[in-house]
Structure 1
Amino acid sequence: MSDFQAAPDLAELVQPDRVHTALYKDPAIFEAEMDRIFAATWVWVAHESEVREPGSFKTSYVGRQPVIVTRDREGALHVLLNRCRHRAATVCEGSGGKATSFACPYHGWTYGLDGALRGAPYPEGYAASFDKADYGLASLRVESYGGLIFASCKPDIEPLVDFLGPARKWIDLFMKQGGGFPVKVAGAHRFRFPGNWKIQLENTTDAYHFPLVHRSFLSSLDEETEELLDVLNQGGFVEDLGNGHSVMVMVPDLVDLEENLEAPIPERFEALAEELRRSHPEEVVRRVVRAVGGTGFNLNLFPNLACSMAFFRVLRPISVDETEIAHVAIGMDGGPEAGNRARLRLHEHFQGPMGFGSPDDAEAWARVQRGAEAGSDLWVMLNRGLGDDGCDNQGPGLGDVSAETGMRAAYQMWKRMMCA
Structure 2
Amino acid sequence: METTPCDLRWPAGGATRVPYRVFSDPAIYQMEQEKIFRGPIWHYLCLTVEVKNPGDIRTTWIGDTPIIVTRDENGELHGMVNRCAHKGALVCLKERDNKKSLTCVYHAWNYKLDGQLRGVAFQKGVKGKGGMPEDFDVSKHRLQPIRVSVVAGIVFGTFSDEAPPLEEFLGDRITAFLKRNMDHPLKILGTHSQMIHNNWKLYAENVRDSYHATLLHTFYTTFKVNRLDMDGGIILSEKKWHHISYSKRATLDAAAEYTSAEVHSAKYSSELDGPQLLQAWDGFDDQITHSIQTIFPTLVSQLTLNSLAVRFVVPRGVDKTELYWVFLGYETDTPEQEKMRVMQANLTGAAGLVALEDGCINSFVQRGTRGSDDKASFIEMGGKLAESNESSRATEAAVRGFWHGYQTIMGFHE
TM-score (normalizing by structure 2): 0.83
Deviations 1:90-115 (CA, angstroms, capped at 9, x unpaired)? 11111113111111111011111111
- Compared with structure 1, are the counterparts of its residues 99 and 170 closer, same or farther at alpha carbon in structure 2 (3 Å cutoff)? same
For the residues of structure 2 that align with 1:14 and 1:105, how far apart are their CA atoms? Answer: 52
Q: Tell me what 1:233 maps to.
A: 229
Q: Tell me what 1:139 maps to.
A: 145
For the residues of structure 1 that align with 2:138 and 2:327, how far apart are their CA atoms? Answer: 40
Q: Residue 419 of structure 1: CA displacement? A: 1.0
Q: How does 1:56-95 map to 2 (within 5 A)?
A: 56-95=56-95
Which protein is richer in helix relative to its size? Answer: 1
Q: Tell me what 2:182 maps to.
A: 175
Alignment check: 8 A CA contact 2:248 2:288 kept: no
Alignment check: 8 A CA contact 1:253 1:296 kept: no
Q: Residue 216 of structure 1: CA displacement? A: 4.2
Q: Is it true that 1:189 corresponds to 2:167 in the alignment?
A: no
Q: Tell me what 1:28 maps to.
A: 27
For the residues of structure 2 that align with 1:317 and 1:104, how far apart are their CA atoms? Answer: 25
Q: Residue 138 of structure 1: CA displacement? A: 1.0
Q: How does 1:339-358 map to 2 (within 5 A)?
A: 339-347=337-345, 349-358=346-355
For the residues of structure 2 that align with 1:91 and 1:346, how far apart are their CA atoms? Answer: 37
Q: Tell me what 1:332 maps to.
A: 330
Q: Tell me what 1:383 maps to.
A: 380
Q: How does 1:183-262 map to 2 (within 5 A)?
A: 183-216=186-219, 218-219=221-222, 226-227=223-224, 229-243=225-239, 244-251=241-248
Indicate the percent of aligned positions where both proteins have the same amino acid: 27
Q: How does 1:259-408 map to 2 (within 5 A)?
A: 295-309=289-303, 310-347=308-345, 349-386=346-383, 390-391=384-385, 396-398=387-389, 400-408=392-400
Deviations 1:246-290 (CA, angstroms, capped at 9, x unpaired)? 111122769xxxxxxxxxxxx9679989xxxxxxxxxxxx666x6
Q: Tell me what 1:277 maps to.
A: none
- Compared with structure 1, are the counterparts of its residues 37 and 14 closer, same or farther at alpha carbon in structure 2 (3 Å cutoff)? farther
For the residues of structure 2 that align with 1:270 and 1:193, how far apart are their CA atoms? Answer: 26
Q: Please tell me the residue identity of whatever aligns with 1:303.
A: P
Q: Tell me what 1:418 maps to.
A: 410
- Compared with structure 1, are the counterparts of its residues 196 and 245 closer, same or farther at alpha carbon in structure 2 (3 Å cutoff)? same
Alignment check: 8 A CA contact 1:251 1:297 kept: no
For the residues of structure 2 that align with 1:230 and 1:197, how far apart are their CA atoms? Answer: 25
For the residues of structure 1 that align with 2:6 and 2:294, how far apart are their CA atoms? Answer: 30
The partner residue of 1:409 within 380, 394, 401 is 401
Q: Tell me what 1:15 maps to.
A: 14
Q: Helix, strand or coil for the counterpart of 1:172?
A: helix
Alignment check: 8 A CA contact 2:385 2:400 kept: no
For the residues of structure 1 that align with 2:153 and 2:394, how far apart are their CA atoms? Answer: 30
Q: Residue 375 of structure 1: CA displacement? A: 3.2
Q: Residue 147 of structure 1: CA displacement? A: 0.7
For the residues of structure 2 that align with 1:137 and 1:252, how far apart are their CA atoms? Answer: 49
- Compared with structure 1, are the counterparts of its residues 136 and 356 closer, same or farther at alpha carbon in structure 2 (3 Å cutoff)? same
Deviations 1:207-238 (CA, angstroms, capped at 9, x unpaired)? 2211222214555xxxxxx23x2421113222
Aligned alpha-carbon RMSD (Å) = 2.6
For the residues of structure 1 that align with 2:204 and 2:97, how far apart are their CA atoms? Answer: 29
For the residues of structure 2 that align with 1:126 and 1:34, how far apart are their CA atoms? Answer: 35
Q: Tell me what 2:258 maps to.
A: none
TM-score (normalizing by structure 1): 0.82
Q: Please tell me the residue identity of whatever aligns with 1:97.
A: D
Q: Tell me what 1:263 maps to.
A: none
For the residues of structure 1 that align with 2:406 and 2:349, how far apart are their CA atoms? Answer: 30
Segments of 4+ in structure 1 off by > 4 A? 11-14, 216-219, 267-273
Deviations 1:117-143 (CA, angstroms, capped at 9, x unpaired)? 111011121122211111111110000
- Compared with structure 1, are the counterparts of its residues 352 and 411 closer, same or farther at alpha carbon in structure 2 (3 Å cutoff)? closer
Q: Please tell me the residue identity of whatever aligns with 2:21.
A: A
Q: Which runs of 5+ in 2 are unaligned?
A: 125-130, 252-273
Deviations 1:4-51 (CA, angstroms, capped at 9, x unpaired)? 9553x4x54871312111111111111101100111111000111111
Q: Tell me what 2:55 maps to.
A: 55
Q: Residue 363 of structure 1: CA displacement? A: 0.6
- Compared with structure 1, are the counterparts of its residues 287 and 361 closer, same or farther at alpha carbon in structure 2 (3 Å cutoff)? closer
For the residues of structure 1 that align with 2:197 and 2:282, how far apart are their CA atoms? Answer: 40
Q: Tell me what 2:134 maps to.
A: 128
Alignment check: 8 A CA contact 1:60 1:67 kept: yes
Deviations 1:358-400 (CA, angstroms, capped at 9, x unpaired)? 32111101101000115332211211100xxx446xxx44372
Q: Residue 155 of structure 1: CA displacement? A: 2.3
Q: Residue 175 of structure 1: CA displacement? A: 2.4
